Amino acid sequence: MIPISGSAYSYAYATLGEFIAWIIGWDLVLEYLFGASTVAVGWSGYVVSFFADLGLHLPEQLVNAPFSYNTIDHQWMTTGAILNVPAIFIVCVITYLLVIGLRESARFNNVIVLVKVAVILLFVFFGLAYINVDNWQPFIPENEGTFGRFGWSGILRATGVIFFAFIGFDAVSTLSQEAKNPQKDMPWGILGSLVVCAILYVVVGLVMTGIVPFAQLNDPAPIAVAIDAAGPDLFWLRPFIKVGAIAGLSSVILVMLMAQPRVLFSMSSDGLLPKIFSKVHSRFHTPHWSTILTGLFAAIIAGLFPIGLLGELVSIGTLLAFAIVSAGILVLRYKEPELERPFKAPFFPFVPIMGVLTSLGVMLTLPGDTWMRLIIWMALGFLIYFIYGKHHSRLNIK
């Protein structure tokens, strides 16, 4: 309905006003920036595992984050590592691809999507024979006496932690201004990919936990762990799986680093951020400065922090964005019921109300320190808005 760059930010701007739009825009910065960094750490794990299969053992100090975080005791620790160099490397390479143009990036993405789907199907097909159903007993491990440590509360917390996987569906909408027919392409792109990915997630999760006990999968490269545990008969599949995972995670990083600058572009166009974020390269026609700055910060974050901490932080931001967009549907349907809607959210008002309640409900299951980091991030955003954005806003200038 609103086919311009900016995704949920642009929708909130049109439905809930500038201040709420700023909140969701700043939240999307957290979502995409830290999301790309999180996946880059996973990419690094698969690269290290792949090189180890080839007999090349990369130095531990250069493939791990220098900091770790114990989510049980809430304690920061040092690991003795210097930087996660592979994670930094992949962010820099993809940033370069995005600066030189969307057409080249799209071709790269199409190839690696085909590769990763083929490899996922190979893993499922051959992995079925190695499933040990005893690994699924109990299917829901008993709670250990603390909220979020297994049991049903563990399922809810796990939902919150892994929710950043949904960023990809939101990222589709950031490119609506560059789509040929956004009113048709956006719903098909988002809903179609959601169905396919949901099925693949469930099937891969079942096969993976059937091959190896779930406790052994707390690793940046869990499918690699599952393949290794299957034994010599599946050793031939290891390089294919790891190459596919590396390719697949590359495409995810590309999508997130592609979406972030477009959100910054829209916020800058509205005057809420400096004009440098809406500058377009004269030759490549891409928002090069915002892409380079996004890549720079994503690389630093990926090089310094562990995957678990980043995942929780990204997920709470994603859930907040989804809750605000669901509220926007409610507001706009009542505020401007006569607007033309090429795609109309069904079962109104049930779907948007449940969108708000379920998103907020899952947010409440996340640890308190994750909430504290979100509050600090949003406080920083409010500071920027009231010092700069409010005074340079396109609405105030008028």
CATH number at residue 330: 1.20.1740.10
2 found inside a domain: no
- Predicted pLDDT of residue 124: 92
- Predicted pLDDT of residue 71: 61
3 found inside a domain: no
- Predicted pLDDT of residue 250: 86
Bond prior to 138 in cis (omega within 30° of 0): yes
- Predicted pLDDT of residue 3: 65
- Predicted pLDDT of residue 395: 78
User: What is the extent of the structural domain holding 371?
Assistant: 8-393
Burial class of residue 393 (count of CB atoms within 10 Å of its CB; 0-12, 13-18, 19+): middle
Residue-wise pLDDT for 319-346, tens only, equals 888 898 898 888 888 888 888 888 888 8
- Predicted pLDDT of residue 175: 67
Collect the ranges in the chain with pLDDT lower than 50.
none
42 found inside a domain: yes
Cβ count within 10 A of residue 186: 19
- Predicted pLDDT of residue 103: 64
- Predicted pLDDT of residue 102: 60
**Residue 348 three-state SS:** coil
Do 1 and 339 contact (CB within 8 A), yes or no? yes
Whole-number Å distance between alpha carbons of 144 and 160: 19
Give every CB contact of residue 237 below 8 A, 6+ residues apart in sequence: 122, 123, 126, 227
- Our count of domains for the chain comes to 1
366 found inside a domain: yes
1 found inside a domain: no
Which segments of the chain does DSSP mark as H helices, in order?
8-15, 18-53, 85-100, 102-127, 151-162, 167-173, 182-211, 222-229, 238-269, 288-304, 307-335, 350-364, 368-384, 390-392, 394-397
- Predicted pLDDT of residue 206: 94
Would you state the structure tokens that stand for residue 84, as one six-digit string?
């996660």
- Predicted pLDDT of residue 4: 65
Do 353 and 330 contact (CB within 8 A), yes or no? yes
- Predicted pLDDT of residue 169: 79
278 found inside a domain: yes
Do 239 and 53 contact (CB within 8 A), yes or no? yes
Place of tokens 């979100």: 374
37 found inside a domain: yes
CA 328 to chain CA centroid, nearest Å: 22
- Predicted pLDDT of residue 356: 95
223 found inside a domain: yes
Residue-wise pLDDT for 205-229, tens only, equals 999 999 999 988 887 678 888 888 8
